[in-house]
Amino acid sequence: MGDQPQTANSEGGIRRSTRTRTRKKKKNQIPLGILAFLLIVAIGIILSLTVGNNVALFWLLGSVFGFILQRSRFCFTASMRDPYLTGGTNLTKAVLTAFAVTTIGFAAIKYGAFTRGLPIPGQSYVVPISLATAVGAFMFGIGMVIAGGCASGTLMRVGEGFGMQILSLFFFIVGSLLGAAHFGWWKLNFIVRGPSVFLPDVFGWVGAVIVQLFIIALLWIAADKWAKRKNVSDGH
């Protein structure tokens, strides 16, 4: 890979006819990467010494999560959109696998607290389900496909320097602030009007994990079959 002109023909594979292009010499990004890594660690240490260990932990988890998201190109939007658009369900299956793993993890954390008689963490997220959930999910789906990413995807791509999604981020913040400001009204008039279900209350702890994993497995199989069916029908 030099900076001299290079024809695509020399790269084998697909023959590209006429084009000759000059390539910029690539900068070695590894020193920058090491610098960024050291900076993240340093900020983590400073945070733990000045603000507290929790904030430092949030900082590290956030950085790691962003790194994994970027490298893996994990995209919740694509997982919901591509089955319809292209028939590809690889990301759908990846998301379902992640759900299965977190199901076990969260059940372990919650059950651990439960057996020791501690308050179960994260119970404030067990919220009522109703038609409002489905309507909200549908609206969120439209929004994330137009914006080109869900919350985490948008953040990750802003970090990559993708200009258009800085706009998404701005309105994502505007929308979140508006939503937070009016949340009380929505909660009072729509959200509380539904049953809130905590699966272990219904099926017991083991049952809840089994039921949830079973549903995820069914969805996984459906996604797999969907991809195959789509490809077969495209072949005609």
The footprint of other proteins (CB under 8 A) covers 8, 11, 13-19, 21, 23-24, 26-27, 29, 70, 73, 75, 78, 81-82, 85-88, 90, 145, 147-149, 153, 157, 160-165, 231, 234
Task: Kindly tell me which of 169 and 213 has the beta carbon lying closer to other proteins.
Answer: 169
Q: What is the 3-state secondary structure (H, E, C) of the chain?
A: CCCCCEEHHHHCCCCCCCCEECCCCCCCCHHHHHHHHHHHHHHHHHHHHHCCHHHHHHHHHHHHHHHHHHHHCCCHHHHHHHHHHCCCCHHHHHHHHHHHHHHHHHHHHHHHHHHCCCCCCCHHHCCCCCHHHHHHHHHHHHHHHHHCCCHHHHHHHHHHCCCHHHHHHHHHHHHHHHHHHHHHHHHHHHHCCCCCCCHHHHHHHHHHHHHHHHHHHHHHHHHHHHHHHHHHHHCC
Task: Kindly tell me which of 119 and 235 has the beta carbon lying closer to other proteins.
Answer: 235
Q: How far is the CB of 82 from other proteins (least distance, A)?
A: 7
Task: Kindly tell me which of 11 and 201 has the beta carbon lying closer to other proteins.
Answer: 11
Q: How far is the CB of 24 from other proteins (least distance, A)?
A: 6
Q: How far is the CB of 136 from other proteins (least distance, A)?
A: 22
Q: How far is the CB of 115 from other proteins (least distance, A)?
A: 42
Task: Kindly tell me which of 160 and 180 has the beta carbon lying closer to other proteins.
Answer: 160
Task: Kindly tell me which of 82 and 199 has the beta carbon lying closer to other proteins.
Answer: 82
Q: How far is the CB of 57 from other proteins (least distance, A)?
A: 28
